[in-house]
């Protein structure tokens, strides 16, 4: 095992960048003419990993959500990791939208990725470990081929994959 090389495939979102994107989106919302009187706000709950968008009605919530998405895209954040909820009525005649920030690779998708690596007949070993996938091999070239396969097939798994912990 000492001669093996490995990397971890993960699907995470940097909450600091999300916080910065939410702050810049709020600045734009406050200055935009059509949203100035909407009482819109964007809040990040880091522990629960969710964003909450509030405004006076459903249309304004959707507009604030679009501003947030554009700011996140400009920061280079993957929008695939966001799971949009439904707009619900909140207290005080306001509307609320909750957006879950997903992190980690679900087990069912990890199994599909693992199967794709096996089907490609690469000499790599893929292990599922708590929301991530560790790929190891004796050859660095095989690992690079596995990374290329995962990058090219990332759309089929609906995940934004990053590679970390190279050894």
Residues 26-82 have pLDDT tens digits of 999 988 888 878 888 899 998 888 999 998 888 888 999 999 999 999 988 888 888
Phi, psi of 29 (to 5 degrees): -65, -40
pTM: 0.79
With contact defined as beta carbons under 8 Å apart, do 81 and 109 qualify?
Answer: no
Strands, E assignment, the chain: 5-10, 41-45, 50-55, 82-90, 94-101, 125-129, 132-137, 162-164
Q: Where are the domains of the chain?
A: 5-12+104-164, 15-101
Identical topology for domains 5-12+104-164 and 15-101: yes
- 30: phi then psi, degrees, rounded to nearest 5: -65, -35
Cα–Cα separations (whole angstroms), residue 9 to 51, 62, 112: 25, 33, 13
The burial class, CB within 10 Å (0-12 / 13-18 / 19+), for 81 is: buried
pLDDT tens profile 147-159: 888 888 766 777 7
Assigned CATH for 5-12+104-164: 3.30.70.860
Q: Which fold has domain 15-101?
A: Alpha-Beta Plaits (3.30.70)
């Amino acid at each position: 095992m000492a001669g093996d090389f490995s990397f971890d495939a993960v699907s995470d979102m940097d909450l600091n960048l999300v916080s910065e994107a939410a702050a810049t989106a709020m600045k734009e919302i406050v200055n935009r003419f059509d949203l100035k009187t909407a009482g819109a706000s964007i809040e990040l709950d880091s522990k629960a990993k969710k964003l909450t968008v509030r405004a006076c009605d459903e249309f304004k919530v959707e507009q604030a959500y679009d501003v947030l998405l554009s700011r996140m895209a400009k920061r280079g954040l993957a929008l695939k990791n966001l799971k949009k909820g439904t707009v619900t009525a909140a207290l005080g005649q306001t509307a609320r939208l909750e957006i879950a920030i997903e992190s980690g690779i679900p087990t069912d998708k990890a199994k599909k990725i693992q199967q794709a690596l096996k089907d490609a007949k690469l000499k790599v070993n893929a292990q599922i470990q708590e929301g991530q996938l560790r790929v190891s091999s004796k050859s660095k070239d095989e690992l690079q081929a596995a990374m290329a396969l995962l990058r090219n097939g990332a759309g089929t798994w609906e995940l934004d994959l990053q590679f970390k912990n190279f050894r």
